[in-house]
Amino acid sequence: MLRPPHAERTRLEGPAGPLQALIETPATEVQGPQPVSAFAVVCHPHPLHGGTLDNKVVYTVARALEQLGAPAIRFNFRGVGASAGSYDEGRGETADALAVIAYGRRRWPQAALWLAGFSFGGAVAVRAAAAARPQRLIAVAPGITTLALTDAAPPACPWLIVQGDADEVVPPQAVRAWVDTLSPPPELQVLHGAGHFFHGRLNELRDVVLAFMASCA
């Protein structure tokens, strides 16, 4: 049985003030002197609709990447929980994500970045990718109807989009149409019958993430 990761609750400096964060480090990294080869940053859903770092989809993605040995940082965007500031329509939230990524790069200077996000956070991750240059990008049900991505350059790295075809928040057809405009295209995995929050489908979501990461190894 896998040991639970070491959890470190902290605040990281963000553009609008401190950002509440949870850093989880796999037990193998806590115990041994092995260098960290990659770290993950996972962005949460919409701040005005109950999105936080404790969202179950964000948790699932973070734990999947931790299973591969990567420390994972989940954090609250500005104005959420104990994070300073207020909602900024995606602009400030993208800056928040980049600040968290910069922290991770200072802490693990030799490590690659795995960037991920769910819903609004998926769209933020895509927007941040141009500047952050992740090694891998994962966007789960990206909120493209809330945060426009038409001006966001497709990342150069391998990336995955996971979408439920019964999504009641982000129209699946809109995601497919957007993917068709991208070059090079991401890998699109559609979970049939899955809604936006992947109720009852989190294990499948985890397996899709792990399979994608394995295919890129």
Q: Is 32 exposed, middle or buried (0-12, 13-18, 19+ CB in 10 A)?
A: exposed
> Tell me, what's the pLDDT at 57?
98
One-letter amino acid of 41: V
- Domain extent for 41: 6-216
Residue 27 — very low, low, confident or very high, per pLDDT cuts 50/70/90? confident
pTM over 0.85: yes
- Rounded Cα gap, residues 181 and 185, in angstroms: 8
User: Per the domain annotation, does 48 fall within a domain?
Assistant: yes
Instruction: Find the CATH number of the domain harbouring 48.
Output: 3.40.50.1820
User: Per the domain annotation, does 1 fall within a domain?
Assistant: no
Taking only the tens place, the pLDDT of each residue in 166-190 is 999 999 999 999 999 998 899 999 9
CB-based contacts of 180-183 (< 8 A; 24+ apart in sequence): 182/154, 183/154
Taking only the tens place, the pLDDT of each residue in 123-179 is 999 999 999 999 999 999 999 999 989 888 889 899 999 999 999 999 999 999 999
**Structural domain count of the chain:** 1
